[in-house]
Structure 1
Amino acid sequence: MPDGVTPGGPRPLELLALALALAQEAGDLLLRGRAGTVAAESTKSSPTDVVTALDRASEELVGRRLREARPGDGLLGEEGADDVGTSGVRWIVDPLDGTVNFLYSLPNWAVSIAAEIDGTVVAGVVHAPAMGVTYTAALGEGSARNGAALAGSTVTDLSRALVATGFGYTVERRASQVTVLTRVLPRVRDIRRMGAASLDLGAAAAGLVDAYYERGLHPWDHAAGGLIATEAGLRVGGLHGRPVSNDLTIAAPPGLFDALHDLLAADPPADSD
C-alpha cells in the first residue's frame, strides 16, 4: 500500500474521481465567465499579481461541493480558504492558475485540485478547458493526459533540454530570476515560459518539455502538478535534497535532475519575496 494511504480510508482513485468532477465544473464556470468581460478585481503581492471575481467564484464553488461531498475534509485554497478539517484528508486548490493568461484570453490557464492524506498528496487534477487538456494522477497509479498514460522525457544531456520556467510577481524576485536565467539559458536547448505552474508540470510529465524549474511556488501551484510529474517518472524536488518549497521546485528526468539542480544551486540569488 502506498505511503499516505490508510487502510479503510479513502482510496486515491476515489479522491481523483471527485477532484476531476470538481475541476471540470469549475472549468465550465470559468469558460462561461471568460465569454463575457473579465477585469482584474484586485491585486495581491504586487500590481502584476492579479485576481478576478472568477478566481473567487471558482474557489467558492469547489469549496461548496467539497463540503457537500466530504464535510470533514480540510481545504487550502489560493484565494483564502484554509481549513484543517477532521478527516485527515485535505484538498489543495488553485481555482484559476494562470490568471493573467485568462485576462488576456490566452488558453494556458487551469483549475488545479489535489487531495492529500495525512500530508501526502495522493490525487491530482490539472484541468485546462480552453486548451482541451486534462492531466490526472493518483498515487501509485500513474498519470495521464486526456486519458493517455504519461512518461516524461528521457533526455540526460542538459544542452539538449527544453526547459520551462516561470517568474514571480515582485520586482525583486523577477530581477533575481532573470539573473538565474542568464546562467541557465546558455547551457540548455531553450527556455519556455507558459504562465501557469500547474501546466508547466503537466507539460514536463508529458514530455512536451524536458524539465521545469521555478522559485516562489506555493502548495496550490505544485501539489497536483507535482504528483502528475512524479507519477510520470520524473524526479520532483527542491534544493540540496529538500522537498519542493517556496525556495525552488525542479521537475526533471532522473538522468537530468542533478545537472539542472547544480546549475540552479550555484550562487542562488537573494530576494525578499
Structure 2
Amino acid sequence: MSSGPLPESLGSLQLSAVHQLLDRVADRQRQDFGNIVSDFKPDGSLITSCDRWSDAAIVAGLAQIAEQEGVLSEEGSKCVPDSPAYWVVDPLDGTTNFAAGIPYWAISMARFVGGRPVEAFLDVPSLNQRIVAIRGEGVWRNGKRLTNETRSTGSACVSLCSRSIRVLQRRADQPFPGKIRLLGVASLNLVSVAMGQTVAALEATPKIWDLAAAWLVLNELNCPIQWLAADPAQLHPGQDLTAADFPVLATGSHAEMQRLRSWGEALLHG
C-alpha cells in the first residue's frame, strides 16, 4: 500500500452519488425479486443474474464516484486492493433468501482507509431501510440518527448463522442463554445487535464482505466485538480473501459479552 497521507472522507457530492447508486441497485433487486432463477458458483453457493448485475453496477458506479479506489467484492476481485482507500462490497447478501422468495436480504458496502471501515452503507431493499455509518460521527437509519439508547429494547434474542448452531451440540448439557434467531443474512445478523433487535450475534464463517459494513455500525454504537480467530484489521494489500473466514461474536454490551463469550469460543474449540 502506498505511503503518504490517508485519503479524506467522502465529500457531500460523493455521498450523494453513493446513495443514488444504492437507489438504482435496490430498485432493480426489488423488481427481480420473485422472478429470478439461481445457479451455483464453484464453491457450491447460490448466485443469481441479479447478484451479477448488482456487482457490475456497483463496481462501475464506484469507479466513477472514487476512481482511484479499488474494490473487493464477493462476485468480483477478492484480493485486498493496494490503493490507500478501497471498497468492500457484497452486492446481494442473503442470496439464498432472495432466490427462495424470502424478502430479507441486503446490499452491503464499506469504504476502508488504513485497513478499517470509515464509511458504511447497508440497504435492505425489501424494507426500504438504509443504514449509514461514518467513523467518529455515528449511525443513521433512513436519515434518523441512532444512539446507544435506540437499541435498549430488552430483547432476549441471539442471532446464530446456520453454521454456528453447532455450538448447541457441542454444549448440549447447557441451556443456550437466549432465544435463537436465524435470519440468513450475515450482515444483518450482526447489525441486528446494533439495532437492539438481538442481544448478540454469532457468525461462524463470515467473509470480509459479509461483515465490513456491519463492523463499523457496531463500532459506532459501542457494541463489543470479539474476533474468534483472524482479525480483519490485519489485512494486507494483495491478500486473497476468497477462503478467509472471520468468526465473530458481537454483543450489545460488555455484560452480554461476558455471558456469551464461552459460547463463541466453543464454536471453534468445542
TM-score, normalised with respect to structure 2: 0.82
Percent of pairs identical after alignment? 28
Tell me whether 1:99 sits opposite 2:95 in the alignment.
yes
Runs of at least 5 residues in structure 2 that lack an aligned partner in the other structure: 234-243
| Aligned AA (1:180) | V
Counterparts of 1:256 and 1:128, CA distance in 2: 27
Counterparts of 1:38 and 1:128, CA distance in 2: 18
State whether residues 230 and 245 of structure 2, in contact with CA within 8 Å, keep that contact through their aligned partners in structure 1.
no
- Alignment size in residue pairs: 251
Counterparts of 2:161 and 2:129, CA distance in 1: 20
| SS of residue paired to 2:59 | helix
Counterparts of 1:219 and 1:243, CA distance in 2: 7
TM-score, normalised with respect to structure 1: 0.81
State whether residues 155 and 256 of structure 1, in contact with CA within 8 Å, keep that contact through their aligned partners in structure 2.
no
Output the aligned Cα RMSD.
Answer: 2.8
Q: Deviations over 1:121-140 (max 9, x none)?
A: 10111101111221110101
- Deviant stretches of 4+, over 6 Å: none
| Aligned AA (2:75) | E
| SS of residue paired to 2:38 | coil
Counterparts of 2:262 and 2:6, CA distance in 1: 42
Tell me whether 1:225 sits opposite 2:203 in the alignment.
no
Partner in structure 2 of residue 58 of structure 1: 54
1:218, CA displacement in angstroms? 0.5
- With over 3 angstroms needed to count, the CA separation of the structure-2 counterparts of 1:210 and 1:20, relative to structure 1, is farther
1:247, CA displacement in angstroms? 4.5
Q: Deviations over 1:14-73 (max 9, x none)?
A: 5655543332221112112226x2011323422xx2001110110100011111222111
Q: Deviations over 1:190-232 (max 9, x none)?
A: 1100110111122111101111111111110000011112111
State whether residues 93 and 185 of structure 2, in contact with CA within 8 Å, keep that contact through their aligned partners in structure 1.
yes
1:81, CA displacement in angstroms? 2.6
Counterparts of 1:143 and 1:228, CA distance in 2: 6
1:268, CA displacement in angstroms? 2.7
5 Å matches for 1:81-160? 81-82=77-78, 87-151=83-147, 153=151
State whether residues 151 and 207 of structure 1, in contact with CA within 8 Å, keep that contact through their aligned partners in structure 2.
no
1:108, CA displacement in angstroms? 0.9
State whether residues 155 and 161 of structure 1, in contact with CA within 8 Å, keep that contact through their aligned partners in structure 2.
no
Counterparts of 1:162 and 1:239, CA distance in 2: 21
State whether residues 237 and 243 of structure 1, in contact with CA within 8 Å, keep that contact through their aligned partners in structure 2.
no
Partner in structure 1 of residue 43 of structure 2: 45
State whether residues 97 and 197 of structure 1, in contact with CA within 8 Å, keep that contact through their aligned partners in structure 2.
yes
